[in-house]
């Protein structure tokens, strides 16, 4: 059983590092494309994911040099990632992914247990542990994986070296003749890749699920950790329990899980205004009924580990030649790439015509497609394999698994419960400092990560209220990193994420030293990006302010609809602060519509558009605005331009006072 732990840890570290590399790879490509808001040659980087084509060149024998060269490239590619600029990071992570896609099929074929028994559950146990560790790492750093930062990048090297030592225990001898029929190897390869994809999309960083649903972050994080590690614990100590999972039971379980994932997304999918004359759609906090699919999904998702066990058994029993693995893993990579593009197109549907418009408001589609594919493949394979043979009857002792897995879970639980703390004490009085900040997904104007610089600037200014735009980074295209949660927890502020990532907007989030009340998102007609305005209220010294965080885009018609809706919703309120990236210059009709009712902070203080230091914001550069009710006093408005703003927009703030 000692050997089983070695193999289990080998798969766990490999899958953890591979998903990390894949996450960085896709994120880096997207960031580089974000700078041009169109597809160009950089998207060809996805060709790294088709490296399994190299397996066609090898028969029954894989030379040792290829195995260890692949590992070396995998290790170095992943290890240097935290220290590189975005373009180099894409190349390095791509090399790591390519090498990993050579190693994975060979690992599935060549690992052995010391006892010689056919227990093919070990790779799935590795996946469960990889998810548990990934969740812990991200929870410790408020959804950002610390091993991918320069401060803790050394841990990536440490994990990679540990993987290399564990791989020595894999039997890399060639298998001259397949022991059983090769039927199902290609479909099982596709299934394995699909399960890795769904783990990358959701469960390795479950903070994304919290942003889909406005659900409890602590509950979702701890549920994914608990059920991953509990399944692993039971598969080690009570493997006989899973022998009762027949093909029919497994099919029903997969159906329930698939429907719950799709239902979780659809429960938070919005029917957007169909035309300019359509009324706005107001979205408030979700009801309990909307969270039922979420709870079902969290309870049923361990089925992916049983699926992974079943599909891994095909490799272990058939021992296919390397060239026989190439078609399945190539097709699996192709499906992964297609699902990634569909996911991204559902967000940037207005930019990649004529393809992307079809995917508007179809965030659910890639999840349905990939899970339905897994379900079909698993059902076919389950008719040929017996779960009793896969799981066996030999169990581990209770003490060591309980101690190790319990420690991982308890650390995750504590970190999750310590998240979302509010430790800033707002001062009573009759003034506020408010800031609008388009953070470009926490990247600067040349596409380099700048979240620490942005955080330092916020701490220096010390605003009472911050309106963020382009903050919807909690998606696969941006590394599943929740910078709003990160900033809120580092600052100790209350937060409202605004429109969920399911809706496909560019994110309008609000942070505040004061508790946020009556939070909601208002969607208006759009013909390029979804226009979701985040609304909230804060109370300062007995005075209640209505906050509107805006980020309209699209045609002039769409912007006029937005401006009219903003004015109509704000006019009944006594104290209004409407700030954000308006994408409007001072002479445009939509700007004038808002300016006719509210006071522009900069122009009120500097009617010429030029401040006392000669900063000229009278022209095209001024699209980030702070509007306030006419009776409020504006004091010392400030713009800080790129690169000092650590984004591609000026950051803008002002003090507001009242009697």
CA-based nearest residue to 630, from 573, 590, 581:
573
133-146 pLDDT, tens digit each = 999 999 999 999 99
CA–CA gap between residue 81 and residue 99 (Å, rounded): 15
pLDDT of residue 114: 43
Q: Is the pTM of this model over 0.75?
A: yes
CA atoms in the 13 A half-sphere facing the CB of 459: 12
Confidence category of residue 323, pLDDT binned at 50, 70, 90: confident
**CA dist list (Å): 565 to 118, 277, 526, 571:** 65, 11, 13, 10
CA-based nearest residue to 345, from 331, 361, 369, 334:
361
**CA dist list (Å): 641 to 129, 401, 650, 653:** 45, 54, 4, 12
Mean pLDDT of 505-522: 96
Question: How, if at all, do strands 599-600 and 576-581 pair?
Answer: unpaired
pLDDT of residue 241: 79
CA–CA gap between residue 475 and residue 616 (Å, rounded): 37
Mean pLDDT of 453-471: 98
Mean pLDDT of 352-374: 94
Q: Among 184-193, 321-330, 356-365, 622-631, whose mean pLDDT is lowest?
A: 321-330
Give me the architecture of the 431-657 domain, per CATH. Answer: 4-Layer Sandwich (3.60)
Q: Is residue 508 pLDDT above 80, yes or no? A: yes
467-497 pLDDT, tens digit each = 999 999 999 999 999 999 999 999 999 999 9
pLDDT of residue 175: 47
Q: Is residue 422 pLDDT above 90, yes or no? A: no
Three-state DSSP class for 282?
strand
pLDDT of residue 529: 87
168-215 pLDDT, tens digit each = 888 766 544 444 455 789 999 999 999 999 999 999 999 999 999 999
Bridge partner residues of 633 (DSSP): 657
Q: Among 43-47, 290-294, 647-651, whose mean pLDDT is lowest?
A: 43-47
Q: Is residue 381 pLDDT above 50, yes or no? A: yes
pLDDT of residue 65: 86
Confidence category of residue 232, pLDDT binned at 50, 70, 90: very high
Of residues 260 and 621, which shows the higher confidence score? 260
pLDDT of residue 641: 97
Q: Is residue 592 pLDDT above 70, yes or no? A: yes
Give me the architecture of the 2-267+284-418 domain, per CATH. Answer: Up-down Bundle (1.20)
Of residues 204 and 241, which shows the higher confidence score? 204
φ, ψ for residue 99, nearest 5 deg: -65, -40
CA atoms in the 13 A half-sphere facing the CB of 325: 33
Mean pLDDT of 407-425: 92
Q: Domain segments of the chain: what residues?
A: 2-267+284-418, 431-657
pLDDT of residue 186: 93
pLDDT of residue 396: 62
Q: Is residue 319 pLDDT above 70, yes or no? A: yes
Q: What is the overall mean pLDDT for the chain?
A: 92
Mean pLDDT of 584-612: 97
52-110 pLDDT, tens digit each = 999 998 876 777 888 899 999 999 999 999 999 999 999 999 999 999 999 999 898 87
pLDDT of residue 33: 80
Mean pLDDT of 37-65: 80
Q: Is residue 389 pLDDT above 90, yes or no? A: no
CA–CA gap between residue 548 and residue 545 (Å, rounded): 10
pLDDT of residue 421: 82
The percentage of the chain sitting over the pLDDT mark of 70, rounded to a whole number, equals: 94
């Amino acid at each position: 059983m000692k050997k089983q732990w070695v193999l289990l840890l080998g798969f766990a570290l490999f899958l953890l590092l591979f998903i990390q590399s894949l996450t960085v790879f896709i994120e880096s490509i997207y960031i580089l494309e974000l700078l041009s808001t169109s597809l160009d040659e950089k998207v060809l980087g996805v060709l790294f994911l088709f490296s399994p084509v190299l397996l066609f060149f090898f028969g029954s024998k894989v030379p040792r040099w290829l195995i260890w060269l692949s590992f070396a490239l995998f290790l170095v590619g992943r290890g240097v990632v935290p220290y590189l600029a975005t373009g180099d990071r894409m190349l390095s992570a791509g090399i790591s992914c390519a090498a990993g896609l050579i190693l994975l099929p060979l690992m599935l074929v060549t690992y052995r247990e010391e006892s010689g028994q056919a227990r093919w559950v070990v790779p799935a146990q590795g996946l469960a542990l990889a998810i548990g560790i990934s969740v812990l790492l991200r929870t410790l750093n408020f959804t950002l994986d610390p091993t991918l930062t320069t401060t803790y990048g050394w841990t990536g090297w440490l994990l990679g070296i540990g993987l290399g030592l564990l791989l020595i225990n894999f039997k890399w001898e060639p298998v001259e003749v397949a022991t059983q029929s090769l039927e199902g190897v290609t479909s099982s390869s596709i299934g394995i890749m699909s399960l890795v994809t769904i783990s990358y999309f959701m469960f390795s960083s479950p903070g994304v699920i919290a942003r889909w649903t406005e659900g409890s972050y602590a509950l979702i994080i701890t549920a994914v950790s608990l059920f991953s590690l509990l399944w692993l614990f039971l598969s080690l100590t009570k493997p006989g329990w899973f022998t009762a999972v027949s093909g029919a039971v497994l099919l029903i379980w997969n159906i329930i899980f698939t429907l719950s994932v799709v239902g979780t997304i659809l429960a938070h999918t919005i029917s957007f205004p169909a035309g300019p004359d359509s009324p706005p759609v107001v979205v408030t906090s979700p009801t309990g009924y909307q969270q039922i699919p979420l709870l079902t999904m969290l309870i049923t998702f361990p089925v992916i580990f049983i699926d992974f066990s079943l599909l891994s058994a095909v490799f272990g029993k058939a021992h296919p030649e390397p060239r026989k693995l190439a078609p399945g893993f190539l097709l699996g990579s192709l499906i992964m790439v297609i699902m990634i593009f569909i996911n991204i197109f559902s967000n940037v549907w207005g930019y990649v015509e004529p393809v992307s418009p079809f995917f508007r408001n179809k965030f659910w589609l890639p999840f349905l497609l990939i899970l339905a594919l897994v379900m079909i493949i698993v059902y076919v394979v389950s008719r040929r394999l017996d779960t009793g043979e896969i799981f066996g009857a030999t169990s581990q002792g209770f003490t060591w698994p309980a101690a190790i897995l319990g420690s991982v879970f308890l650390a995750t639980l504590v970190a999750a419960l310590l998240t979302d703390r509010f430790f800033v004490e707002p001062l009573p009085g009759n003034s506020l400092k408010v800031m609008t900040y388009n953070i470009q997904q926490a990247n600067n104007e040349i596409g380099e990560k700048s979240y620490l610089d942005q955080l330092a600037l916020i701490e220096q200014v010390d605003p009472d209220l911050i309106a963020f735009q382009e903050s919807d980074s909690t998606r696969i295209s941006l590394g599943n990193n929740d910078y709003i949660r990160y900033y809120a927890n580092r600052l100790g502020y209350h937060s409202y994420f605004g429109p969920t990532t399911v809706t496909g907007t560019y994110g309008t989030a609000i942070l505040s030293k004061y508790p946020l009340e009556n939070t909601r998102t208002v969607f208006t007609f759009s013909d390029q990006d979804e226009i979701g305005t985040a609304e909230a209220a804060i109370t300062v010294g007995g005075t209640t302010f209505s906050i509107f965080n805006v980020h309209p885009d699209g045609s002039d018609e769409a912007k006029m609809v937005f401006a009219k809706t903003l004015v109509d919703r704000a006019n009944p309120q006594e104290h209004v602060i409407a700030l954000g990236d308006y994408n409007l210059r001072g002479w445009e009709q939509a700007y004038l519509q808002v300016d006719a009712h509210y006071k522009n902070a900069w122009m009120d203080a500097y009617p010429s558009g030029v401040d006392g230091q000669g900063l000229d914001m009278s022209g095209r550069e001024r699209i980030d605005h702070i509007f306030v009710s006419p009776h409020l006093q504006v004091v010392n408005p400030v713009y800080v331009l790129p690169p000092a703003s650590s984004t591609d927009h000026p950051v803008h703030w002002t003090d507001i006072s009242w009697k």
